[in-house]
Amino acid sequence: MDEIIKEIQKLKEDRNAVILSHNYQLPEIQDIADYVGDSLGLARKGAESKADVIVMCGVKFMAETASILSPDRNVLMPDAEAGCPMANMITAANIRNLRLTHPAAPCVAYVNTSAEVKAEANICCTSSNAVEIVNSIDAEEILFVPDKYLGQYVQSKTDKKLILWNGFCPTHVKIQPEDIMRQRKDHPKAKVLVHPECTPLVTSIADAVLSTGGMLEYAQKNPCKEFIIGTETGIIHQLSKQNPGKLFYPATNLAVCPNMKRTTLPKLLSCLQNMETEIKVPQDIRRKAARSIERMLEI
């Protein structure tokens, strides 16, 4: 493995590449990356860097978002088959159909969507700013896609009426209230942090409902020494690295996203050797999708 790591590091220099890893990637991918973070944070890091090549270790919509924000760079994915089942639950045509029955409702699209869906939406949101984005919109009724659980969480925090799409993250729905209760019994002093992609039964019994970035910040600032983590288990690596001496328990070991685990060191090496697979968003889609992202960043 050491040889592969050395070769990746050498090729990274030769290609003037930056390696970005999502918080849910395998530990060895997180460790070799220049930046580890959430999807929007990574896309912004890629855009800020001086690299010619952006290697996105994550799922496809993340590479698309990086390409939208950095159209002149070469955006590569080590495994182009790594998709996001939740992002695939909605299409641009689905939004156009929704607009027929709700013509006055602007559409908010979670960043976990394809470039086409972002292009069709009015504005994007992340799991950390969704409530703020929804509240900033001058309309009573808003289409919110694709995650119904994030949507239900936002609905509990706003007076606007959200029209939800029936999408969900298959990994986060594996986290059940019984898992939280069992872990709480075993670790009575631990704080329970869960992601808003979890079901309302889970979010309602947590100490805090946070994005991945929010969890990392909370764990650093909170004096508590033990945490039960209700999101994809990959983040435990980053939480443990950043907080030596604190303990992090996954709510359940079943919360593993198989798509996030498709990226391996040999695939990362081959990606840099062969400069494949490039992810490019067509210009017309890119321009519209960038507008939805920029509107969010303005707020």
Ramachandran angles phi, psi of 39, nearest 5°: -60, -45
170 binds ligand SF4 (CB under 6 A): yes
59 binds ligand SF4 (CB under 6 A): yes
Binding-site member from 169, 175, 190, 202 for ligand SF4 (CB under 6 A): 169
* Tokens coding 203: 């979010």
Interface stretch with ligand SF4, choices 90-98, 154-162, 203-211, 256-264 (CB under 6 A):
256-264
Q: Where are the alpha helices (DSSP H) in 156-193?
A: 177-186
Interface stretch with ligand SF4, choices 29-37, 91-99, 166-174, 269-277 (CB under 6 A):
166-174
The CA distance from 46 to 40, in Å, is: 10
Tell me the number of residues near ligand SF4 by CB under 6 A: 13
DSSP E strands in the chain: the ranges are 17-22, 35-37, 53-57, 74-76, 107-110, 123-125, 141-145, 161-164, 191-194, 208-209, 226-230, 247-250
- Closest contact distance (angstroms) between CB of 152 and ligand SF4 is 16
The CA distance from 209 to 17, in Å, is: 35
b/e 25-34 (16+ beta carbons within 10 angstroms → b): bbebbbebbe
Interface stretch with ligand SF4, choices 40-48, 133-141, 254-262, 275-283 (CB under 6 A):
254-262
257 binds ligand SF4 (CB under 6 A): yes
109 binds ligand SF4 (CB under 6 A): no
Beta carbons within 8 Å of 92's beta carbon, 6+ residues apart:
114, 116, 117, 119, 120
232 binds ligand SF4 (CB under 6 A): yes
Beta carbons within 8 Å of 90's beta carbon, 6+ residues apart:
113, 117, 145, 146, 165, 167
* Binding mask of the shown chain, residues 17 to 36, with x at each position contacting ligand SF4 by CB under 6 A: -------x------------
Binding-site member from 30, 67, 74, 112 for ligand SF4 (CB under 6 A): 112
- Closest contact distance (angstroms) between CB of 291 and ligand SF4 is 23
113 binds ligand SF4 (CB under 6 A): no
- Closest contact distance (angstroms) between CB of 258 and ligand SF4 is 8
